[in-house]
Structure 1
Protein backbone atom coordinates (compact mmCIF):
# COMPACT_ATOMS: atom_id res chain seq x y z
CA UNK A 1 0.00 0.00 0.00
CA UNK A 2 1.48 3.38 -0.97
CA UNK A 3 1.30 6.54 1.11
CA UNK A 4 -0.95 9.37 -0.01
CA UNK A 5 1.89 11.86 0.33
CA UNK A 6 5.13 11.07 -1.56
CA UNK A 7 8.33 10.91 0.47
CA UNK A 8 11.16 13.35 -0.25
CA UNK A 9 14.71 13.21 1.07
CA UNK A 10 16.29 16.48 2.19
CA UNK A 11 20.11 16.25 2.11
CA UNK A 12 22.10 18.48 4.47
CA UNK A 13 25.79 18.52 3.60
CA UNK A 14 29.01 18.46 5.55
CA UNK A 15 31.09 21.44 6.73
CA UNK A 16 33.08 23.01 3.87
CA UNK A 17 31.00 21.09 1.34
CA UNK A 18 27.88 21.82 -0.70
CA UNK A 19 24.60 20.28 -1.71
CA UNK A 20 26.17 18.73 -4.79
CA UNK A 21 27.76 16.15 -2.50
CA UNK A 22 24.41 14.33 -2.78
CA UNK A 23 24.28 14.30 -6.61
CA UNK A 24 25.19 10.61 -6.99
CA UNK A 25 22.81 9.49 -4.23
CA UNK A 26 20.02 11.60 -5.73
CA UNK A 27 20.59 9.98 -9.11
CA UNK A 28 20.37 6.50 -7.65
CA UNK A 29 17.10 7.32 -5.88
CA UNK A 30 15.50 9.35 -8.64
CA UNK A 31 13.30 6.57 -10.01
CA UNK A 32 11.40 6.39 -6.72
CA UNK A 33 12.23 9.33 -4.46
CA UNK A 34 13.29 12.94 -5.01
CA UNK A 35 16.29 14.14 -3.03
CA UNK A 36 16.71 17.90 -2.56
CA UNK A 37 20.06 19.13 -1.23
CA UNK A 38 20.40 22.88 -0.69
CA UNK A 39 23.70 24.62 -0.11
CA UNK A 40 23.82 25.60 3.56
CA UNK A 41 24.50 29.23 4.39
CA UNK A 42 28.06 30.37 3.71
CA UNK A 43 28.92 27.21 1.76
CA UNK A 44 28.52 26.40 -1.92
CA UNK A 45 26.59 29.24 -3.53
CA UNK A 46 24.50 30.08 -0.46
CA UNK A 47 24.64 33.47 1.26
CA UNK A 48 24.87 33.67 5.03
CA UNK A 49 21.76 32.43 6.84
CA UNK A 50 19.46 35.35 7.79
CA UNK A 51 19.75 34.49 11.48
CA UNK A 52 23.50 33.90 11.55
CA UNK A 53 25.54 30.70 11.74
CA UNK A 54 24.16 28.96 14.81
CA UNK A 55 22.80 25.43 14.48
CA UNK A 56 19.29 26.79 15.07
CA UNK A 57 19.74 29.47 12.41
CA UNK A 58 20.69 26.75 9.94
CA UNK A 59 17.66 24.71 11.04
CA UNK A 60 15.47 27.78 10.43
CA UNK A 61 16.91 28.11 6.92
CA UNK A 62 16.29 24.42 6.17
CA UNK A 63 12.70 24.71 7.42
CA UNK A 64 12.22 27.73 5.15
CA UNK A 65 13.65 25.79 2.20
CA UNK A 66 11.25 22.89 2.83
CA UNK A 67 8.32 25.29 2.99
CA UNK A 68 9.46 27.11 -0.16
CA UNK A 69 9.67 23.83 -2.09
CA UNK A 70 6.22 22.82 -0.75
CA UNK A 71 7.58 19.48 0.43
CA UNK A 72 4.97 17.27 2.08
CA UNK A 73 6.37 14.24 3.88
CA UNK A 74 10.14 14.10 4.13
CA UNK A 75 13.22 12.50 5.68
CA UNK A 76 16.15 14.64 6.76
CA UNK A 77 19.47 13.18 5.61
CA UNK A 78 22.15 14.90 7.65
CA UNK A 79 25.82 14.36 6.81
CA UNK A 80 28.45 15.44 9.37
CA UNK A 81 27.62 19.10 10.20
CA UNK A 82 24.28 18.52 8.47
CA UNK A 83 23.54 15.77 10.98
CA UNK A 84 23.59 18.18 13.91
CA UNK A 85 21.36 20.59 11.98
CA UNK A 86 18.96 17.77 11.10
CA UNK A 87 18.64 16.79 14.77
CA UNK A 88 18.01 20.38 15.81
CA UNK A 89 15.17 20.64 13.30
CA UNK A 90 13.78 17.19 14.15
CA UNK A 91 13.57 18.13 17.84
CA UNK A 92 11.04 20.81 16.85
CA UNK A 93 8.75 18.04 15.57
CA UNK A 94 7.92 19.89 12.33
CA UNK A 95 4.89 18.89 10.29
CA UNK A 96 5.74 16.41 7.55
CA UNK A 97 8.89 15.00 9.13
CA UNK A 98 8.90 11.21 8.73
CA UNK A 99 12.42 10.32 9.85
CA UNK A 100 16.07 11.27 10.21
CA UNK A 101 18.97 9.47 8.49
CA UNK A 102 22.38 10.46 9.82
CA UNK A 103 25.56 9.93 7.80
CA UNK A 104 28.73 10.22 9.92
CA UNK A 105 26.92 12.90 11.92
CA UNK A 106 28.33 15.58 14.13
CA UNK A 107 26.88 14.50 17.48
CA UNK A 108 24.24 16.47 19.38
CA UNK A 109 26.88 16.89 22.10
CA UNK A 110 29.96 19.10 21.50
CA UNK A 111 31.97 17.62 18.67
CA UNK A 112 35.14 15.83 19.82
CA UNK A 113 37.93 18.02 18.48
CA UNK A 114 41.13 19.05 20.20
CA UNK A 115 41.98 22.73 20.44
CA UNK A 116 45.07 22.01 18.39
CA UNK A 117 42.98 20.52 15.58
CA UNK A 118 40.50 23.38 15.81
CA UNK A 119 43.27 25.97 15.49
CA UNK A 120 44.87 24.07 12.61
CA UNK A 121 41.54 23.93 10.78
CA UNK A 122 41.08 27.68 11.23
CA UNK A 123 44.53 28.34 9.82
CA UNK A 124 43.86 26.06 6.85
CA UNK A 125 41.12 28.33 5.48
CA UNK A 126 41.46 29.22 1.82
CA UNK A 127 44.74 27.37 1.27
CA UNK A 128 44.78 24.93 -1.69
CA UNK A 129 47.53 22.78 -0.19
CA UNK A 130 45.53 22.43 3.03
CA UNK A 131 42.35 21.64 1.08
CA UNK A 132 44.19 18.78 -0.63
CA UNK A 133 45.48 17.55 2.71
CA UNK A 134 41.95 17.64 4.12
CA UNK A 135 40.68 15.66 1.14
CA UNK A 136 43.21 12.92 1.83
CA UNK A 137 42.30 12.86 5.52
CA UNK A 138 38.53 12.67 5.16
CA UNK A 139 38.31 10.09 2.35
CA UNK A 140 39.38 6.45 2.35
CA UNK A 141 38.00 5.05 -0.89
CA UNK A 142 39.41 6.18 -4.24
CA UNK A 143 37.34 8.81 -6.04
CA UNK A 144 37.22 9.95 -9.65
CA UNK A 145 39.41 12.98 -10.40
CA UNK A 146 36.30 15.08 -11.14
CA UNK A 147 34.92 14.41 -7.66
CA UNK A 148 38.32 15.04 -6.08
CA UNK A 149 38.42 18.46 -7.74
CA UNK A 150 34.83 19.17 -6.72
CA UNK A 151 35.48 18.41 -3.04
CA UNK A 152 38.59 20.61 -2.99
CA UNK A 153 36.77 23.41 -4.83
CA UNK A 154 33.89 23.35 -2.34
CA UNK A 155 36.37 23.59 0.51
CA UNK A 156 38.02 26.63 -1.06
CA UNK A 157 34.78 28.50 -1.83
CA UNK A 158 33.50 28.31 1.74
CA UNK A 159 33.14 31.75 3.31
CA UNK A 160 35.41 32.66 6.19
CA UNK A 161 32.43 33.54 8.39
CA UNK A 162 30.78 30.13 7.96
CA UNK A 163 34.10 28.31 8.27
CA UNK A 164 35.03 29.91 11.59
CA UNK A 165 31.50 29.92 13.01
CA UNK A 166 31.24 26.14 12.82
CA UNK A 167 34.72 25.53 14.23
CA UNK A 168 34.36 27.99 17.11
CA UNK A 169 30.66 27.74 17.92
CA UNK A 170 28.41 25.38 15.94
CA UNK A 171 30.48 22.26 16.49
CA UNK A 172 30.56 23.04 20.22
CA UNK A 173 26.80 23.45 20.66
CA UNK A 174 25.14 20.97 22.98
CA UNK A 175 21.69 19.84 21.87
CA UNK A 176 21.54 16.75 24.05
CA UNK A 177 18.71 18.07 26.26
CA UNK A 178 16.48 18.39 23.18
CA UNK A 179 16.98 14.89 21.84
CA UNK A 180 14.08 13.50 23.87
CA UNK A 181 11.88 15.55 21.53
CA UNK A 182 13.08 13.61 18.46
CA UNK A 183 10.12 11.26 18.10
CA UNK A 184 10.52 9.98 14.52
CA UNK A 185 12.47 6.89 13.38
CA UNK A 186 16.21 7.47 13.01
CA UNK A 187 19.16 5.60 11.54
CA UNK A 188 22.93 6.16 11.52
CA UNK A 189 25.46 5.14 8.86
CA UNK A 190 29.22 5.43 9.34
CA UNK A 191 32.44 4.40 7.64
CA UNK A 192 34.86 2.20 9.55
CA UNK A 193 37.81 4.18 8.16
CA UNK A 194 36.45 7.60 9.18
CA UNK A 195 39.41 9.58 10.54
CA UNK A 196 37.16 12.49 11.60
CA UNK A 197 34.27 10.77 13.38
CA UNK A 198 34.86 7.14 14.21
CA UNK A 199 31.89 4.77 14.65
CA UNK A 200 32.62 4.71 18.39
CA UNK A 201 31.80 8.44 18.58
CA UNK A 202 28.35 7.76 17.14
CA UNK A 203 27.84 4.84 19.49
CA UNK A 204 28.80 6.88 22.55
CA UNK A 205 27.59 10.40 21.76
CA UNK A 206 24.63 10.09 19.39
CA UNK A 207 23.00 6.67 19.51
CA UNK A 208 22.08 6.75 23.23
CA UNK A 209 20.17 10.02 22.71
CA UNK A 210 18.04 8.78 19.81
CA UNK A 211 14.81 6.71 19.90
CA UNK A 212 15.13 3.12 21.07
CA UNK A 213 15.88 0.73 18.25
CA UNK A 214 17.87 3.22 16.16
CA UNK A 215 20.41 1.16 14.18
CA UNK A 216 24.06 2.05 13.63
CA UNK A 217 25.28 0.54 10.35
CA UNK A 218 28.94 0.44 9.35
CA UNK A 219 30.35 0.59 5.81
CA UNK A 220 33.67 -1.19 5.45
CA UNK A 221 36.52 0.71 3.82
CA UNK A 222 34.73 4.07 3.76
CA UNK A 223 35.90 7.33 5.26
CA UNK A 224 33.99 10.44 6.28
CA UNK A 225 32.49 11.51 2.94
CA UNK A 226 29.87 8.77 2.59
CA UNK A 227 27.72 10.42 -0.11
CA UNK A 228 30.83 10.61 -2.31
CA UNK A 229 32.59 7.40 -1.27
CA UNK A 230 29.61 5.07 -0.88
CA UNK A 231 26.63 6.44 -2.84
CA UNK A 232 25.27 2.97 -3.59
CA UNK A 233 25.32 1.95 0.08
CA UNK A 234 23.80 5.27 1.15
CA UNK A 235 21.04 5.00 -1.46
CA UNK A 236 20.29 1.42 -0.40
CA UNK A 237 20.07 2.47 3.24
CA UNK A 238 17.70 5.30 2.37
CA UNK A 239 15.48 2.99 0.34
CA UNK A 240 15.22 0.59 3.28
CA UNK A 241 14.59 3.47 5.63
CA UNK A 242 11.87 4.85 3.35
CA UNK A 243 10.05 1.52 3.50
CA UNK A 244 10.32 1.56 7.27
CA UNK A 245 8.91 5.09 7.72
CA UNK A 246 6.10 4.45 5.24
CA UNK A 247 4.47 2.24 7.82
CA UNK A 248 5.64 4.11 10.93
Structure 2
Protein backbone atom coordinates (compact mmCIF):
# COMPACT_ATOMS: atom_id res chain seq x y z
CA UNK A 1 0.00 0.00 0.00
CA UNK A 2 1.22 3.55 -0.66
CA UNK A 3 2.36 5.50 2.32
CA UNK A 4 -0.21 7.91 3.78
CA UNK A 5 0.50 11.52 2.77
CA UNK A 6 2.13 13.63 5.45
CA UNK A 7 -0.66 16.19 5.69
CA UNK A 8 -1.51 17.85 8.94
CA UNK A 9 -5.22 18.30 9.62
CA UNK A 10 -6.32 21.51 11.34
CA UNK A 11 -9.85 21.15 12.73
CA UNK A 12 -12.00 24.24 13.34
CA UNK A 13 -15.05 23.81 15.55
CA UNK A 14 -18.59 25.15 15.56
CA UNK A 15 -20.00 28.20 17.36
CA UNK A 16 -20.46 27.56 21.10
CA UNK A 17 -18.24 24.47 20.81
CA UNK A 18 -14.56 23.70 21.28
CA UNK A 19 -11.75 21.70 19.77
CA UNK A 20 -12.69 18.65 21.75
CA UNK A 21 -15.70 18.02 19.46
CA UNK A 22 -13.18 16.35 17.12
CA UNK A 23 -11.94 13.63 19.48
CA UNK A 24 -14.01 10.83 17.93
CA UNK A 25 -13.10 11.84 14.36
CA UNK A 26 -9.40 11.94 15.24
CA UNK A 27 -9.69 8.52 16.88
CA UNK A 28 -11.43 7.12 13.81
CA UNK A 29 -8.74 8.54 11.53
CA UNK A 30 -6.08 6.59 13.39
CA UNK A 31 -2.40 7.56 13.47
CA UNK A 32 -1.95 8.35 9.79
CA UNK A 33 -2.03 12.14 10.14
CA UNK A 34 -1.05 14.89 12.54
CA UNK A 35 -4.38 16.20 13.86
CA UNK A 36 -4.66 19.59 15.56
CA UNK A 37 -7.91 20.87 17.02
CA UNK A 38 -7.45 24.26 18.71
CA UNK A 39 -10.06 26.13 20.67
CA UNK A 40 -10.91 29.21 18.62
CA UNK A 41 -10.65 32.58 20.41
CA UNK A 42 -13.46 33.06 22.91
CA UNK A 43 -14.45 29.38 22.95
CA UNK A 44 -13.36 26.46 25.09
CA UNK A 45 -10.26 27.46 27.04
CA UNK A 46 -9.19 30.24 24.64
CA UNK A 47 -9.63 33.87 25.68
CA UNK A 48 -11.36 36.20 23.21
CA UNK A 49 -9.14 38.50 21.14
CA UNK A 50 -9.64 42.21 20.59
CA UNK A 51 -11.48 41.53 17.32
CA UNK A 52 -13.99 38.74 16.64
CA UNK A 53 -14.64 39.15 12.92
CA UNK A 54 -14.40 36.24 10.49
CA UNK A 55 -11.09 37.66 9.24
CA UNK A 56 -9.78 37.99 12.79
CA UNK A 57 -10.52 34.29 13.31
CA UNK A 58 -8.79 33.51 10.01
CA UNK A 59 -5.79 35.49 11.27
CA UNK A 60 -5.76 33.41 14.46
CA UNK A 61 -5.81 30.15 12.48
CA UNK A 62 -3.05 31.40 10.17
CA UNK A 63 -0.96 32.26 13.23
CA UNK A 64 -1.64 28.80 14.70
CA UNK A 65 -0.46 27.18 11.44
CA UNK A 66 2.67 29.36 11.33
CA UNK A 67 3.58 28.74 14.96
CA UNK A 68 3.51 24.99 14.38
CA UNK A 69 5.49 25.20 11.18
CA UNK A 70 2.95 23.28 9.11
CA UNK A 71 4.14 22.83 5.52
CA UNK A 72 1.23 20.86 4.05
CA UNK A 73 -2.13 20.90 5.72
CA UNK A 74 -5.86 20.51 5.31
CA UNK A 75 -8.42 22.78 6.96
CA UNK A 76 -11.46 20.93 8.31
CA UNK A 77 -14.16 23.39 9.34
CA UNK A 78 -17.48 22.63 11.01
CA UNK A 79 -20.31 25.19 10.93
CA UNK A 80 -18.71 28.49 12.04
CA UNK A 81 -15.33 26.86 11.49
CA UNK A 82 -16.28 26.24 7.87
CA UNK A 83 -16.78 29.93 7.13
CA UNK A 84 -13.48 30.72 8.83
CA UNK A 85 -11.75 28.02 6.77
CA UNK A 86 -13.10 29.52 3.54
CA UNK A 87 -11.97 33.01 4.56
CA UNK A 88 -8.45 31.75 5.14
CA UNK A 89 -8.44 29.63 1.97
CA UNK A 90 -9.37 32.71 -0.08
CA UNK A 91 -5.98 34.16 0.89
CA UNK A 92 -4.26 31.21 -0.83
CA UNK A 93 -1.89 30.46 2.06
CA UNK A 94 1.24 28.50 1.25
CA UNK A 95 0.91 24.85 2.22
CA UNK A 96 -2.88 24.62 2.16
CA UNK A 97 -3.83 21.53 0.13
CA UNK A 98 -7.58 21.41 0.61
CA UNK A 99 -10.62 22.38 2.66
CA UNK A 100 -13.20 20.01 4.14
CA UNK A 101 -16.47 21.65 5.15
CA UNK A 102 -18.89 19.97 7.56
CA UNK A 103 -22.34 21.60 7.72
CA UNK A 104 -20.63 24.95 7.17
CA UNK A 105 -21.95 28.39 7.82
CA UNK A 106 -22.24 29.60 4.20
CA UNK A 107 -20.03 32.30 2.70
CA UNK A 108 -23.18 34.41 2.29
CA UNK A 109 -24.97 35.74 5.38
CA UNK A 110 -26.30 32.79 7.36
CA UNK A 111 -30.10 32.64 7.07
CA UNK A 112 -31.53 33.52 10.47
CA UNK A 113 -34.41 35.78 11.39
CA UNK A 114 -33.92 38.73 13.70
CA UNK A 115 -36.24 37.01 16.15
CA UNK A 116 -34.09 33.88 16.17
CA UNK A 117 -30.94 35.96 16.69
CA UNK A 118 -32.52 37.79 19.62
CA UNK A 119 -33.63 34.51 21.16
CA UNK A 120 -30.14 33.06 20.75
CA UNK A 121 -28.60 36.08 22.45
CA UNK A 122 -30.98 35.76 25.38
CA UNK A 123 -30.06 32.08 25.67
CA UNK A 124 -26.50 32.86 26.69
CA UNK A 125 -25.47 31.08 29.87
CA UNK A 126 -28.76 29.21 30.25
CA UNK A 127 -28.46 25.45 30.88
CA UNK A 128 -32.11 25.00 29.91
CA UNK A 129 -31.59 26.80 26.60
CA UNK A 130 -28.36 24.87 25.94
CA UNK A 131 -30.21 21.57 26.43
CA UNK A 132 -33.02 22.67 24.10
CA UNK A 133 -30.51 23.69 21.44
CA UNK A 134 -28.78 20.32 21.70
CA UNK A 135 -32.07 18.52 21.06
CA UNK A 136 -32.90 20.79 18.12
CA UNK A 137 -29.57 20.48 16.26
CA UNK A 138 -28.91 16.76 16.71
CA UNK A 139 -30.71 13.88 15.04
CA UNK A 140 -28.73 10.82 16.05
CA UNK A 141 -28.51 9.77 19.72
CA UNK A 142 -25.27 10.56 21.51
CA UNK A 143 -23.79 9.01 24.67
CA UNK A 144 -24.47 10.96 27.83
CA UNK A 145 -20.82 11.97 28.15
CA UNK A 146 -20.88 13.62 24.73
CA UNK A 147 -24.16 15.36 25.48
CA UNK A 148 -22.65 16.79 28.66
CA UNK A 149 -19.58 17.90 26.70
CA UNK A 150 -21.75 19.81 24.21
CA UNK A 151 -23.66 21.50 27.02
CA UNK A 152 -20.50 22.38 28.93
CA UNK A 153 -18.86 23.91 25.86
CA UNK A 154 -21.98 25.98 25.22
CA UNK A 155 -21.97 27.32 28.75
CA UNK A 156 -18.27 28.19 28.87
CA UNK A 157 -18.32 30.22 25.65
CA UNK A 158 -17.35 33.83 26.32
CA UNK A 159 -20.11 36.40 26.03
CA UNK A 160 -18.03 38.44 23.57
CA UNK A 161 -17.59 35.50 21.18
CA UNK A 162 -21.22 34.45 21.58
CA UNK A 163 -22.61 37.87 20.64
CA UNK A 164 -20.03 38.65 17.97
CA UNK A 165 -20.88 35.60 15.89
CA UNK A 166 -24.63 36.11 16.18
CA UNK A 167 -24.58 39.81 15.37
CA UNK A 168 -21.62 40.06 12.98
CA UNK A 169 -19.70 36.92 11.98
CA UNK A 170 -22.66 34.88 10.80
CA UNK A 171 -23.92 37.90 8.88
CA UNK A 172 -20.67 38.60 7.05
CA UNK A 173 -20.71 38.10 3.30
CA UNK A 174 -17.44 36.70 1.93
CA UNK A 175 -18.98 35.20 -1.21
CA UNK A 176 -17.11 37.62 -3.50
CA UNK A 177 -13.83 36.11 -2.32
CA UNK A 178 -14.76 32.52 -3.13
CA UNK A 179 -13.31 32.56 -6.69
CA UNK A 180 -9.93 33.00 -4.95
CA UNK A 181 -10.26 29.56 -3.34
CA UNK A 182 -8.10 27.41 -5.61
CA UNK A 183 -7.76 24.20 -3.59
CA UNK A 184 -10.17 21.25 -3.74
CA UNK A 185 -13.12 21.38 -1.35
CA UNK A 186 -15.09 18.57 0.30
CA UNK A 187 -18.62 19.49 1.41
CA UNK A 188 -20.55 17.27 3.85
CA UNK A 189 -23.90 17.81 5.51
CA UNK A 190 -26.48 15.74 7.35
CA UNK A 191 -29.88 15.11 5.78
CA UNK A 192 -31.54 15.90 9.13
CA UNK A 193 -29.64 19.13 9.85
CA UNK A 194 -32.16 21.57 11.34
CA UNK A 195 -29.62 24.32 11.99
CA UNK A 196 -28.30 24.79 8.44
CA UNK A 197 -30.48 22.56 6.25
CA UNK A 198 -29.40 20.80 3.08
CA UNK A 199 -31.30 23.35 1.01
CA UNK A 200 -29.17 26.16 2.42
CA UNK A 201 -25.97 24.33 1.52
CA UNK A 202 -27.30 23.77 -1.99
CA UNK A 203 -28.19 27.43 -2.54
CA UNK A 204 -25.80 29.41 -0.33
CA UNK A 205 -22.60 27.32 -0.18
CA UNK A 206 -22.18 24.91 -3.09
CA UNK A 207 -22.57 27.49 -5.92
CA UNK A 208 -19.61 29.49 -4.53
CA UNK A 209 -17.18 26.58 -4.22
CA UNK A 210 -14.63 25.51 -6.85
CA UNK A 211 -15.94 23.79 -9.98
CA UNK A 212 -16.36 20.08 -9.47
CA UNK A 213 -17.24 20.34 -5.78
CA UNK A 214 -20.17 18.11 -4.86
CA UNK A 215 -22.40 17.95 -1.80
CA UNK A 216 -22.07 14.66 0.09
CA UNK A 217 -25.01 13.76 2.34
CA UNK A 218 -24.81 11.79 5.58
CA UNK A 219 -28.17 10.15 6.02
CA UNK A 220 -30.04 10.76 9.25
CA UNK A 221 -27.38 13.00 10.78
CA UNK A 222 -28.04 16.42 12.24
CA UNK A 223 -25.79 19.45 12.60
CA UNK A 224 -23.13 18.01 14.91
CA UNK A 225 -21.51 15.73 12.32
CA UNK A 226 -18.19 15.23 14.17
CA UNK A 227 -20.14 13.82 17.14
CA UNK A 228 -23.07 12.18 15.37
CA UNK A 229 -21.16 10.57 12.50
CA UNK A 230 -17.43 10.46 13.32
CA UNK A 231 -16.80 7.24 11.40
CA UNK A 232 -18.48 8.53 8.24
CA UNK A 233 -16.65 11.85 8.54
CA UNK A 234 -13.31 10.07 9.00
CA UNK A 235 -13.96 7.86 5.97
CA UNK A 236 -14.81 10.89 3.82
CA UNK A 237 -11.63 12.62 5.00
CA UNK A 238 -9.53 9.53 4.21
CA UNK A 239 -10.93 9.45 0.69
CA UNK A 240 -10.50 13.20 0.20
CA UNK A 241 -6.88 13.07 1.33
CA UNK A 242 -6.21 10.15 -1.01
CA UNK A 243 -7.51 12.30 -3.87
CA UNK A 244 -5.41 15.26 -2.76
CA UNK A 245 -2.28 13.14 -2.59
CA UNK A 246 -2.57 12.46 -6.32
CA UNK A 247 -2.59 16.20 -7.12
CA UNK A 248 0.45 18.47 -7.35
CA UNK A 249 0.82 20.98 -4.53
CA UNK A 250 0.01 24.61 -5.36
CA UNK A 251 2.80 27.11 -4.87
TM-score range, shorter chain: over 0.9
Q: Does residue 164 of the first structure (1) align with residue 163 of the second (2)?
A: yes
Deviates further, 27-36 or 156-165? 27-36
Matched, 1:225 2:224: yes
Q: Which residue of 1 aligns with 2:149?
A: 150
Please, what TM-score do these two structures have when normalized by structure 1? 0.97
How many equivalent pairs are there?
Answer: 246
Q: Give TM-score, length-normalised by structure 2.
A: 0.96
* Superposed displacement of residue 38, structure 1: 0.4
CA distance in 1, matches of 2:31, 2:166: 37
What SS is found at the alignment partner of 1:132? helix
Conserved? CA contact 1:110–1:171, under 8 Å: yes
Residue correspondence of structure 1 range 132-147 to structure 2 within 5 A: 132-147=131-146
Can you list the C-alpha shifts for 1:130-172, whole angstroms capped at 9, x where unaligned?
0000110111100000000000000000000000000000000
Name the residue aligned to 1:209: 208
Native 8 Å contact 1:29 1:35 kept in 2: no
Q: What CA distance in whole angstroms lies between the structure 1 residues aligned with 2:228 and 2:96? A: 27
Match of 2:98 in 1: 99
Q: CA deviation at 1:31?
A: 2.1
State the match for 1:76 in structure 2: 75
1:89 is aligned to 88
Structure 2 counterpart SS, 1:35: strand
Q: Distance in 1 between matches of 2:115 and 2:149?
A: 27
- Mapped partners of 1:190, 1:129: distance in 2: 27
5+ unaligned residues in a row in structure 1: which ranges? none
CA distance in 2 between counterparts of 1:58 and 1:111 reads 17
Match of 2:238 in 1: 239
Deviation at 1:30, TM superposition (A): 2.8
Query: 1:26–1:34: 8 Å Cα contact kept in structure 2?
Result: no
Tell me the residue number matched to 2:10.
Answer: 10
Give the alignment's Cα RMSD to 1 decimal: 1.1
Does structure 1 residue 34 correspond to structure 2 residue 34? yes
CA distance in 2, matches of 1:100, 1:7: 12
Aligned-partner SS, 1:53: coil
Structure 2 CA distance for aligned equivalents of residues 27 and 9 of structure 1 = 13
Structure 2 stretches lacking a partner, 5+ long: none
Q: Does the alignment pair 1:111 with 2:110?
A: yes
Q: Show the counterpart of 1:52.
A: 51
